[in-house]
Structure 1
Amino acid sequence: MRSVRLLPRLLMAALTTAALLVPQGAAAAVDDTRGAGPEVVREKRLDSRLVELTLDSAALGRDAKVRLLTPDGWERRAPGDRWPVLYLLAGGHGDPEAWTQDYAVHELPELRDVLVVMPEMPVFGFYSDWWNEGAGGPPGVESFHLDEVRPLLERKYGAGARRVAAGESQGGFGAISYAARHRGLFRAVASYSGYVHPLQHPHAVKAGLDYMGMDWRALWGDPVAQRANWKAHDPYYLAERLRGTPVHLSSGDGTAGVLDPPDVEPDPHVPGLEDPEAPFPEDVVSPTEAIMGEESRALATRLAAVGAPVTTHFYAGTHSPPYWSRELRSTLPDLLRALGVRAP
């Protein structure tokens, strides 16, 4: 989610798309042999560098959008031309427009030599193929991104094999979880206020999905009965698989910070978000960010313990785009370095 302050808007979006959110089974491995892949229903140029693709996605069971911020020379590409790729993964709102509207990534000179991929995600899709009591069915978010979007872009749109990923909130979870579940997929990943250890706060996952009017057990099942499925998606339990991938974790602590307005208002009350056995301190105005901070710190400790390369930035602040914009710009040089791209 862009911010928990946008939850009412997210609830409206979830209700209007509820019919499309019939969950899917456990995620499949990346597979380039699944036939022709999704059909490009529409290709729309938004400006000199932004292109929006609309795909007929079997994994999602509907049309879905992917935005591309194209590098210099991309429109004159030859069939064999390839560019390094930065995947930017949106929060729980799933809106790829956030990266241009909230963060103005199209204005960053560092991205003139990189293909930036900003895929859509169903509202609160959690970058997973949904479990749905083991029955399968859309939304297969992980399959959409990795089995449909990625091969398509590499076949037809100049995407190369050098990849990094970064994401906000649920997108931070997506970047880290994808990297761990598919070793070698990304050369480096970054999470900004990510849900990076869901089993540390399963009540928060339940509360968020309940708030959106969605069946929380449809995601990964019950955290006790289907604990193995939760662990199979939780980066904390996949830490050893990240030993070869540089990981950056950043998060606030839920208190008001330097990028919050002086009159910052507390997050709206989401029933069940706060653990009654471990209430938040009185100065926490963003419970969501307090949870993200705890999860990010726990994952950082775990990664260091298993010898995985991890860097961190923890600060006072809330669950909001100004912090994620700052963190994106701060980590971009390292992400580009992992791609072998020299920043201007």
Structure 2
Amino acid sequence: MKPRRPVQLACALLGALVLCIGSANFAGAAPRTLSAADDGAKVVQQSQPNGQMLDVTMQSPAVGANVGMRLLLPPGWTPEATRTWPVLYLLPGCCEPKDFRAWTELTDIAAFAKDKNVLIAMPTDGANGNFSDWWNYGKYGPPDWEKFHLDEMRQILERNYHAGQKRAVAGLSAGAYGAMEYASRRPGMFQAAAAFSGTPNIRSMFGDFGVAVGNFRTDQDQDALWGDPIAQADIWKAHNPYDNAENLRGTRLFISTGNGFPGPLHLITDNGLNMFEMPALPNSLMFVNKLNRLGIPITTHFYGPGTHMWGYWIHELKRAWPLLTQGF
């Protein structure tokens, strides 16, 4: 093998240097060329656990803190791409220690999505942000999770990560409420929405129970969220997918839940009955009945025995996938 000439060696070293700089910009501290959201929200850090995943930390004025999301990148995605991809917002549940990493660390969503032509964005919702602008006794946000997810995060995704205009949203438990909440509060923003084991009627006994339990588990003041359910009923109603069901007309909808009894994906740690899954069934049925009265189509899967567990949620996401991504 002939030794390289000085010019060839210099070119090789220069190429390696450029490659290293490019990698540092992509996976280390955020490059200054990344665009901010309209209100100044910006990327302050990004890292790449593997070739399919990208973790992004954003400084959010709406939330008043640095917050994160994990992206599952579609085949062919690169920072320099000139095309866009449809986006699935995949929301977490309450109180999950793994936060925005939960979907990838507790299910096989990464393997499932590896050949899918969809950018999957999995954001944090804090300890239990309830996908809402908090009332805070009349002072409102921060935290304003709705503004973060639907304005700041959307603009950052579109301006820096090649997100397109076709969108769907799905979530589990509290994130199931969030999916229907966001789809009903921003009609037309999402072409499809799916809820797994959620409570889309927070003004019912079953829904109020879920909100109270979530805030209790995270040591948060429930009244700071939307106020008192009676005294501030207008705020609760404004954030209730059941009350705003008419806004879902034209959106492809999917909802599913078990009944709280051990099913085929049951784990011994579930201890049989499950207090979090049981309220989801009657609550979801109320929501479906309301949509039926309005003549709004919704695909349902009430699968009987099944508990509040990740094995069921990834199963239902795969079942809902064709509906969520139709036309993508």
Q: TM-score, normalised by structure 1?
A: 0.80
Q: Which runs of 5+ in 2 are unaligned?
A: 1-35
Picking from 273, 282, 286, the partner of 1:294 is 282
Residue matched to 1:67 = 70
Picking from 86, 100, 108, the partner of 2:112 is 108
Picking from 291, 294, 315, the partner of 1:326 is 315
Higher relative contact order (CA 8 A, sep 6+): 1
Contact 2:74–2:118 (Cα < 8 Å) also in 1? yes
User: What letter is aligned with 1:206?
Assistant: A
Contact 1:122–1:139 (Cα < 8 Å) also in 2? no
Q: CA deviation at 1:328?
A: 0.8
Inter-partner Cα distance in structure 2 for 1:207 and 1:251: 18
Residue matched to 1:7 = none
Inter-partner Cα distance in structure 1 for 2:198 and 2:222: 18
| Percentage of identical aligned residues | 40
Picking from 199, 220, 223, the partner of 2:229 is 223
CA deviation vs aligned residue, 1:54-105 (integer Å, no higher than 9, x gap): 1111111111111111111211543x42111111000013611111111221
Inter-partner Cα distance in structure 2 for 1:305 and 1:157: 40
Inter-partner Cα distance in structure 2 for 1:83 and 1:173: 25
Picking from 41, 52, 59, the partner of 1:49 is 52
Q: CA RMSD in A?
A: 1.8
Q: What is the 5 A alignment of 1:232-311?
A: 232-261=238-267, 264-265=270-271, 285-311=273-299
Inter-partner Cα distance in structure 1 for 2:115 and 2:127: 27
Inter-partner Cα distance in structure 2 for 1:153 and 1:76: 12
Picking from 305, 311, 314, the partner of 1:316 is 305
Inter-partner Cα distance in structure 2 for 1:108 and 1:49: 12
Q: CA deviation at 1:194?
A: 1.1
Picking from 189, 196, 213, the partner of 2:219 is 213
Picking from 86, 94, 114, the partner of 1:84 is 86
Residue matched to 1:163 = 167
CA deviation vs aligned residue, 1:258-287 (integer Å, no higher than 9, x gap): 211367415xxxxxxxxxxxxxxxxxx112
Structure index of larger Rg: 2
Q: CA deviation at 1:34?
A: 6.9
Aligned residues: 288
Picking from 105, 128, 132, the partner of 2:132 is 128
User: What letter is aligned with 1:243?
Assistant: R
Inter-partner Cα distance in structure 1 for 2:53 and 2:75: 12
1:191 corresponds to 2:195: yes
